Amino acid sequence: MFIMSLLELVQKQPNFPKEDLTDVNAMYLGLAMSNRTYLYGAHDVAKSEYPLFTGTHNPLMIAVGELYDNERLVKAVDFGIAALEAVTLFVDAERFHPSMAAAAIYGGAIARRFELDNVENT
């Protein structure tokens, strides 16, 4: 009940994540997202509201798992992705264009791989 009361105070931010959360939204959402059960429940709802999330979370986690051999880091990235998707739902952000998300995902993975290759070759 407490979390639902907090979320009623969250203001819409249709340009999130292009524009950062307001301080007020960050405070309320930070409190609400500190409950893992609630966070992952909201994450599941976000996947139905933003179909793009259904096709991006798992590939990101596969990429992270291949790049890092650290279970804590992989879990932290999973938590971060779930939190971003849940916050996107709560601030009623605009729907992302799939090509934008794909470019960000694969661009980040390619950049990280390039960085690792360059470190190994020096």
Residue-level pLDDT at 114:
52
> What local confidence, expressed as pLDDT, does residue 78 receive?
86
- Give pLDDT, residue 119: 46
- Give the per-residue pLDDT at 4: 61
∠ CA 43-46-50 to the nearest 5 degrees?
145
pLDDT for the residue 113: 53
**CA distance linking residue 73 with residue 47, whole number of Å:** 23
Splitting the chain (122 residues) into consecutive groups of 10 residues, what average pLDDT does each group show? 67 89 89 84 85 80 85 86 87 70 53 50 46
| pLDDT score at 101 | 54
